[in-house]
Amino acid sequence: MRKKRIMIVGPKNSGKTTLVNQINNYKGKLKKTPDVIYGEKTIDVPSAYIENSWMYKHLIALSQDASYIILLVDQTSKEKIYSPGFAKAFNCPVIGAITKIDLMKENEDIAINLLKEAGVLEPYFKISTEMGIGIEELKKHLFLKEEGKGGLI
C-alpha cells in the first residue's frame, strides 16, 4: 500500500509551497513548483492544475495518494478560484485554509464564502506563515492520531 500524503491545492502565490514546507518541517530555500512534488508528508500541486479545468482529472487522480486535501484561499484576493462543489470531486476529506490572514482582513468573509461555495465544510484554518499563525492548529488536526478525532491514516 502506498503512503498517503496531504495534497495542497491553491491558486498562484497563495502560499502552497510555504505551507508544504511548514508541514514537512523543511527550513530550506523556497522554490517555485512547476511540477507535482511528492514530499515526506505532502503532495505540492502547481496552480495550473486548478487554473485549467481540463486538468481536474489529473487532480482527481493525484488525490488517490492523499489522506487529506487542503484547498487554499488567499485572503488578499477576491478571485473565484474553485468551481461550485469542487471539493465533492474527491474521495478523501477536504480541509479549507485561508492564507495571508494578516493582510486585507476586510476580505475574510469573501474567503470563507469561496470555500463554502466550493463545498468545503467548516472548520476553516486561518493561516499566516509570516506571523506563524494557524500552522500548529492545522498540523494538530492533520496528525492527531487518537481514534475518532481525525488525523492521518
pLDDT, average across residues 114-138: 93
Cell 463554502 sits at which residue? 116
pLDDT, average across residues 34-57: 89
Residue 33 has a pLDDT of 67
- The Cα 46–Cα 120 span in angstroms is 20
pLDDT band for 150, please (50, 70, 90 cuts). Answer: low
- The number of angstroms, rounded, from the C-alpha of 131 to the middle of its chain's C-alpha atoms is 18
* Residue 54 burial by Cβ neighbours in a 10 Å radius (0-12, 13-18, 19+): exposed
Domains of the chain: 5-143 (3.40.50.300)
Of 18 and 117, the structure prediction assigns the larger pLDDT to 117
Q: Using one digit for the tens of pLDDT, what is the confidence trace for 48-99?
A: 999 888 999 999 999 999 999 999 999 999 889 899 999 999 999 999 999 9
Give the mean pLDDT of the chain. 87
pLDDT at residue 130 tops 70? yes
Going by C-beta distance under 8 Å and a sequence separation of 6 or more, which residues neighbour residue 65? 2, 3, 4, 5, 7, 38, 43
Total-model pTM? 0.88
Secondary structure class of 89 (helix, strand, coil): helix
Answer yes or no: are the C-beta atoms of 56 and 112 closer than 8 Å. Answer: no
pLDDT, average across residues 7-15: 92
